């Protein structure tokens, strides 16, 4: 525990490093796609908006995007916590709160994507 307490984010795992890159590539690609999508259809009304979400591929793309955001947020915040939250109890509590918060956001998003009125 003392060693964990004294090392910074430089010693975080390779898996985290890789996940951070993979998620960033997916999010970057998805956001660029979104920008072009909304440039082509500048003024979406409710029908067009929900119609777009009726497409299963679009919903899957959104689900993967939200998953990437949550994974990316977890790894990123953890690095920040390791550098700036020094008392172990504080880092632990904030990490726990973050984990539950992100998990809740993921479940909420899943509910939205699954329950859309089509």
Partner 1 sequence: MEMDKNKKRPVYLNLFQIHLPVGGVMSILHRITGTVLVLLLPLAIYMLQRSLQDPAAFADIVARLGSPIGRSILLVVVWMFAQHFFSGVRHLLQDVGIGLEKTAARRGAWLTFIGSGLVVVVTGAYL
Where on the chain is the footprint of partner 1 (CB under 8 A)? 2, 6, 21, 24-25, 28, 31, 45-46, 49-50, 53, 66, 69, 73, 76-77, 79-80, 83-84, 105, 108-109, 112, 116-117
Q: How many CA atoms lie within 13 A of 75 on its CB side?
A: 20
Nearest to 88 by CA among 3, 14, 25, 17: 3
3-class SS of residue 55: coil
21 or 92, CB closer to partner 1?
21
Nearest to 19 by CA among 100, 63, 74, 62: 74
Q: How far is the CB of 91 from partner 1 (least distance, A)?
A: 14
Q: How far is the CB of 102 from partner 1 (least distance, A)?
A: 8
Helix, strand, coil share (%) of the chain residues, nearest 5: 85, 0, 15
89 or 114, CB closer to partner 1?
114
Q: How far is the CB of 64 from partner 1 (least distance, A)?
A: 15
């Amino acid at each position: 525990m003392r060693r964990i307490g004294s090392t910074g984010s430089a010693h975080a795992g390779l898996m985290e490093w890789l996940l951070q890159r993979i998620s960033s590539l997916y999010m970057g690609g998805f956001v660029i796609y979104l920008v072009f999508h909304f440039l082509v259809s500048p003024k979406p009304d409710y029908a067009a908006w929900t119609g777009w979400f009726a497409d299963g591929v679009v919903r899957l793309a959104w689900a993967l995007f939200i998953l990437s955001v949550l994974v990316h947020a977890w790894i990123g915040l953890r690095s920040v916590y390791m550098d700036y939250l020094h008392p172990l109890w504080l880092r632990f509590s904030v990490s726990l709160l973050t984990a539950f918060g992100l998990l809740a956001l993921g479940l909420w998003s899943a509910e939205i994507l699954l329950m859309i009125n089509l």
